[in-house]
Every structure is written in structure tokens, then in C-alpha cells.
Structure 1
Amino acid sequence: MDVLADVLHAMRSGLPRAARTDVRAPWGLRFPEINGASFHIVVRGSCWLLPIGHQPEPRQLFPGDLVLVRNGSVHALADDPASRLTDFEPLLDNPRSPIARVILDGPGAESLLLCGGYEFGRGRPHPLLTELPEVLCLPERSGKHHGLKATIELLGAELEDPRPGGGGIVPALVDALLLYILRAWLDDQPTETHSWANAFRDPAVSAALASMHADPGRRWTLQDLSATANLGRSAFAQRFASLVGVPPLTYLTWWRMTLAERRLRDSNVPLSIIGRELGYTSEFAFAKAFKRDFTLPPGRYRQTLTGTGRD
């Protein structure tokens, strides 16, 4: 089981979108808050990322530089920190299309950006994502992330010359882009820290995570998980908690409830089946575990999402 891909699949809601943004100075774009994450790539020219959250100073971006705004908060890009800002309003030929376009004409220098976003569910973010900095900048001039560069080039080509099939290709590329961004960030983390980056690097912990994600409904015990890690129970439990931040069975319960929330949000599958799929021997046991995390029993929670709760 690919844990990283599984995490993003569980967190995502709706199709990712991307916009080709052609601008000429002077220009400034204010990006609204979204329920997810935003990204920007400078293809040609340059721009400034204006102050946001814990980033006190404007940051200049150059061709190939990429920025990910983790929590989708309001932020801005401009040719100059002093330029007037206008709201980012992409033009869509088809409201259902994942491909948009933004054009701002001016007398000055031209820049070309790729801007996009990922929608995440309103449930709890995965702790892997919360470890990311609020604003993640990956400079192209580091030259280390070849897969990321290739994906950017493919996405740019699709937005430059839209053709039949782009509605399927662009979301797939934007999905791949987020995976490459996370992979690049994980690769750049120091090996001595206690973090998810090193949980993936650690053979014992990564094996246990893969097992839990592959079969979350199995009645796992600490003994079972330590066997997948080829460690004694105490050594495994200590190593897992130091890297992931919680004990193994605590993480397993958290992940089960995350999957349950998604199933309640995206389907009308009966609660008894969801609970059984996630390893609970009765609907009552499942409801009790779910209410402990979400304050509402699963049937009521589903009603708050859809208005059509089905017990």
C-alpha cells in the first residue's frame, strides 16, 4: 500500500483545478481562501509572493519556482509589492472544466503563471499535511526534483494548448503535482528529526503504516503490527510513536475514523456495513468510536452533511 497516495485520496474532495495566468505589469492578484491548498508556478517572468501568515516579508519568485499554500488562506501575487491587487477570477469556457484562464493586460513586462488548487474534505487534516510549512517554496534552481519539473512542463503544455482529453489529463497532472511536491518536501527533511518524513524512511514504521492502510478493517494488535515491522512490541511502539507522534493503535483508530467520515460524506452505504469494513464487530461499537472523534453519532453526522441520513 502506498501510504502517501492513500492519504491524499482520503483527504481530497472534488476535482483539482488549474489556470493559465497571463499577466503584464503592473498587476496584482488576490487569491481567496479555499478549503484545501493552493499552488503557483512561475513559468516566465517573475513575481512577488506577498506577506501571508508566518511569512513576514514579500518573497520574489523566478521561472520554475513553485509555491504551495498549505491551508488555502488568502494570499496575493504581484509584479511588485506596491501594485494594486484585484481578485483572482478565472474564466471558464465550461463551468465543469478543470481548466481556466486569467488575463491581465498592461504596458509592462509579461509573466506567465500556472495557478491551481486542491479541495480537501472538511474533516480533520492528516498529520502529514499539518507538518508542512504554511507556505512551502520549492525553488527551481535547486535542480533536485526532476519528476516535479517534468510534471510542471506537461501541465504547462496542456494549459498552453487545450486539446480533447484535457479535462481528464489536467486533474491527473495536478494530482501528480501535489504528490511530487510532497515527495520533494519529504526528501528535503533532515534525517535526525522526528517527523513523518522519517516515518516513511524507517523500514519498520513504514511497513506497519503500509499494513494498516492496506487493511484498516483487520483486528490489528500491537503484536501483529510489531511482527510486520520485525521488532519487539516495546521497541516498535516506541519507534512508531516517536516518528508518527501517536501510538500505533491510536493512529489506526484515527485513520479508521477518517475513512468512515469520507464514506459517510460520499456514499449512502449503511452504517453497519461501514463499521464492519473498518473492523468494528457491531454498529454500536462503530457509533461509539465515531462519536468520540466527531461528537455526533455517524447517522446524525451524515444528516448534517447531506440531509438524507440513512441508518
Structure 2
Amino acid sequence: MDPLDDYLAGVRTHGAAFCGTLSEPPWSLRITAPAPLSLVAMPRGRGWLTLQNEEPVLLEKGTISLVQAQLPITVSDRPGGAALVEIDEDDQCTLPQDGRPWQLTPTLLRDGEHAPGHGDLLVTASYRVGTERTRPLLRALPPVSVVHADGPLRALLEFVVAEVDSTLPGQRATLDRYLDLLLVQTLRVWFDTPGADTPAGYRALADPGVGQALRALHKDPARPWTVAALAAEAGMSRTAFARRFTALVGSAPLGYLTEWRMTLAADALRSPEVTIASVARQVGYNDAFAFSAAFKRVRGVSPSAHRALARSDADAPSALTEDAYGPAAPA
């Protein structure tokens, strides 16, 4: 278990649209209410991705884009192309000219005069990210990030193309699993791009000592960790470990631990069945009062206030893309 594993826990494909435009342009797809995280890939041909009020981004053959801005997304064969098909928040497809329903399938716009394997191919997928632990990942991503598929990523994209062109049973289930893997591989490539922002601790995983301690911490966050215990996991002296951890991760070891524990607690508190005392024990606190004080210091609100806010705003995506409580207080 490492930070990226935790950030992506529970993130799964929620519906996907596969557009094989095997006829002549124009073609255009508009997602009117995208999920907090969307993937747009161009395995064949080329297209243009446009966020509302933003300049179009060219998607050449073999490019994959991650979009984490919850603004309408348009992908078309040319910049500024009018939407020919729209997808709403319920994954319902309509023709915007008259509002008629449209069945979006892997053969969208495919006519019987063309064989699979030709023309432009656009693949989009939406990911529901309904946990607090995903927030560090989303904060690190820009509104639009574009990578060029190479190596393992290119091979995976080729699997997606082959499955889109397939007529074998279980196509949707297979594609959903490919797209989950495609998201992870695309994130790896993006975070390894020079100059890209990364979630806390991501780059530190490459360090033999600090990386080992981070994995141990994420594997068992409720353990009564001390700096000395984490240093032992890293095979380093306490002083050297604390200095190196802080330099690589950006916060002191126990401060990072407290922040992560409160993130896990914020997720657990969304369940009405659990008590604050039980959540405290889940994240390593035997004293519910000490847990509540730590939660309020880090999250800015008490556990009970967080729970009330989560219940009243359970379906609001903004809580996952922004800090609804303002800047987090230092641990």
C-alpha cells in the first residue's frame, strides 16, 4: 500500500462513451456535467478538447487527457465544433438540436459502409471519486493534463482499441477494467513529467528509506507510530530520517500521519452507522476527545460538524475538488 493506492481506493469507471467516427467529419461530443475526474483518449485520428471558456487543446493520435475541472467538455474534429451529441450527468445522450434520445454505443456514428479499424476513435470515461482520500490527487492535477502514450501506456491503449472494435460478449465489463488501469498508468506518466505537481509523498516513494516508511504508514495508519518507529522501517537514524522525510514529503513525519488519519476519518464519518468513538479507534486514537481535538485542528471543524455537512451535501462534488472548510490548519 502506498499513497497512490490510497488516493485511488474506490475510484472506478462510471460509464464510458466510445465513439468510432468512421464516416466523414464533422463529429462532436459534449459532456454537459462531467464527473470530478474524466479521461479523454484519442487512439486513432485527432480531435480537439475544449473546456468552457478555455482555448481548445489538440489531441493527436495516441494522446490521453485527464480533465478534473467540472465544466462542460467538448471534443470534436475541429476547434469550436458545435455539439452533435450531448451526454448529461445521468449518462443520457441526446441530440441537442431537438432533444431526442441517442443511444451511445461502441458503434456511435458507425455506418455499414465502413469496417472497424478506420477513422477517428475517441474514448471517454468518467470516474466517480466520492472519498476524501482522493482530494490530494485532484489538487495536484491541473484542469487539463495531456500525455502521449508510449511503452506500457501505448500497449494498454491498443488493448482498448482492440476491444472497442470487438464484438465479443462482455465488452463493457472488459472496457471498464481496461479504463481503470488506463487511469492509473496515465497518472503515473503525468506525475513523472518534469515540472508536474504531485500529491504529498508521491515522489518520496522513490527514496529507499522514506518510501519504505511511507508504505508502512499507509498500510497501517492506526498503529501507534513514533518517529523512531518510522525511522526503523526506513533503516535510518531518527534524526536523519526526520530531516529527509520532511525534505521529500513537505511535512514532518507525525504531521503527515495526523493529516492522513484525519482524511481517513473524514471518509469514515460519512457513514451514519459509525460512532465518533469507533472512528477514533479506526485511525489510532483510544481517546475520542483527543481525536476530536486533532480532527478540528486539521480539518477546521469538529467531527460532528463534518458529519452534518457531509449529510447535507452528500451529492455535491465541490467537496472533493476544493477544501470546503478553507485551508487546513497545521498538524
Cα distance between partner residues in 1 of 2:239 and 2:146: 38
Structure 2: which 5+ residue stretches go unaligned?
94-103, 112-117, 313-331
Cα distance between partner residues in 2 of 1:100 and 1:119: 20
Cα distance between partner residues in 1 of 2:301 and 2:57: 43
**Aligned-pair distance for 1:42?**
1.0
Which residue is 2:222 aligned to? 217
Which residue is 2:79 aligned to? 81
Which residue is 2:264 aligned to? 259
Matches within 5 A, 1:56-95: 57-85=55-83, 88-89=86-87
Which residue is 2:7 aligned to? 7
Q: Residue 149 and residue 266 in structure 1: after superposition, are their counterparts in 2 closer, same or farther (change >3 A)?
A: farther
Cα distance between partner residues in 2 of 1:197 and 1:274: 26
Q: Residue 44 and residue 208 in structure 1: after superposition, are their counterparts in 2 closer, same or farther (change >3 A)?
A: same
Cα distance between partner residues in 2 of 1:164 and 1:102: 15
Cα distance between partner residues in 2 of 1:163 and 1:5: 31
Cα distance between partner residues in 2 of 1:188 and 1:68: 14
RMSD: 3.3
Q: Residue 287 and residue 172 in structure 1: after superposition, are their counterparts in 2 closer, same or farther (change >3 A)?
A: farther
Kept in 2, the 8 Å contact 1:19–1:114? The answer is yes
Q: Which amino acid aligns with 2:42?
A: V
**Aligned-pair distance for 1:276?**
0.7
Kept in 2, the 8 Å contact 1:155–1:170? The answer is yes
Q: C-alpha deviations, 1:265-288, integer Å up to 9, x for none?
A: 256233222211210012222222
Cα distance between partner residues in 2 of 1:261 and 1:171: 28
Cα distance between partner residues in 1 of 2:144 and 2:283: 35
Cα distance between partner residues in 1 of 2:105 and 2:301: 39
Which residue is 2:321 aligned to? none
Cα distance between partner residues in 1 of 2:219 and 2:192: 24
Which residue is 2:15 aligned to? 17
**Aligned-pair distance for 1:214?**
0.6
Aligned-residue sequence identity (percent) comes to: 35
Cα distance between partner residues in 1 of 2:269 and 2:182: 28
Cα distance between partner residues in 2 of 1:194 and 1:178: 16
Matches within 5 A, 1:124-143: 125-140=134-149, 143=150
Moved over 6 A (4+): none
Greater Cα shift, 235-244 or 69-78: 69-78
**Aligned-pair distance for 1:174?**
2.1
Cα distance between partner residues in 2 of 1:166 and 1:285: 50
Cα distance between partner residues in 2 of 1:61 and 1:261: 37
Q: Which amino acid aligns with 1:37?
A: L
Secondary structure of the 1:149 match is helix
The structure whose residues are more often helix, as a share, is 1
Which residue is 2:249 aligned to? 244
Secondary structure of the 1:218 match is coil
Q: Residue 84 and residue 105 in structure 1: after superposition, are their counterparts in 2 closer, same or farther (change >3 A)?
A: farther
Which residue is 1:184 aligned to? 189
Whether 1:47 and 2:52 are equivalent positions in the alignment is: no
Q: C-alpha deviations, 1:211-234, integer Å up to 9, x for none?
A: 110110011111111221122233
Q: Residue 217 and residue 72 in structure 1: after superposition, are their counterparts in 2 closer, same or farther (change >3 A)?
A: same
Kept in 2, the 8 Å contact 1:22–1:110? The answer is yes
Q: Which amino acid aligns with 2:37?
A: A
Which residue is 1:95 aligned to? none
TM-score normalised by structure 1 residue count: 0.78
**Aligned-pair distance for 1:194?**
11
Q: C-alpha deviations, 1:47-101, integer Å up to 9, x for none?
A: 1223678xx7533222221111134443322211142235631557xxxxxx955
Cα distance between partner residues in 1 of 2:171 and 2:287: 45
Which residue is 2:297 aligned to? 292
Kept in 2, the 8 Å contact 1:19–1:159? The answer is no
Q: C-alpha deviations, 1:156-177, integer Å up to 9, x for none?
A: 3444446544454333322211
Secondary structure of the 1:207 match is helix
Kept in 2, the 8 Å contact 1:32–1:75? The answer is yes
